[in-house]
Amino acid sequence: MDNKLLTVTDLADYLSVPVNTVYQWRKTGKGPNGYRIGKYIRFRADEVDAWIAEQASA
């Protein structure tokens, strides 16, 4: 992935998980870092890929 910003729905689609799972991860601090931009939550694609790599090595 490139450095684009992902929405919650984009991230859920990319990881093949339900949108509610992304919100739960955010609430519990278990998922990739998300950033509030106005009233929206966005995820940096490069950080998502790094988070995936961390999960694979854990």
Examine residue 36 and state whether it is found in any structural domain, yes or no.
yes
Residue 58 domain flag? no
Q: What is the pLDDT of residues 11-37, one digit of tens each?
A: 999 999 999 999 999 999 999 999 999
Q: What torsion do the CA atoms of 10, 15, 18, 19 make, to the nearest 10 degrees?
A: -30
Q: Please count the structural domains in the chain.
A: 1
Q: Which residues pair with 36 in a beta bridge?
A: 41
Sheet holding 40-44, edge to edge: 5-6, 40-44, 35-37
Assess if residue 48 is contained within a domain: yes
In which band, very low, low, confident or very high, does the pLDDT at 56 lie, cut at 50, 70 and 90? confident
Query: Quick check: is 40 in a domain?
Result: yes
* SS3 state at 50: helix
Q: Which domain holds residue 20?
A: 5-53
Is residue 47 a part of any domain in this protein?
Answer: yes
Mean per-residue pLDDT over the chain, rounded: 93
For residue 1, is pLDDT > 60?
no
The model's pTM: 0.88
C-alpha 44/C-alpha 3 separation (Å) is: 6
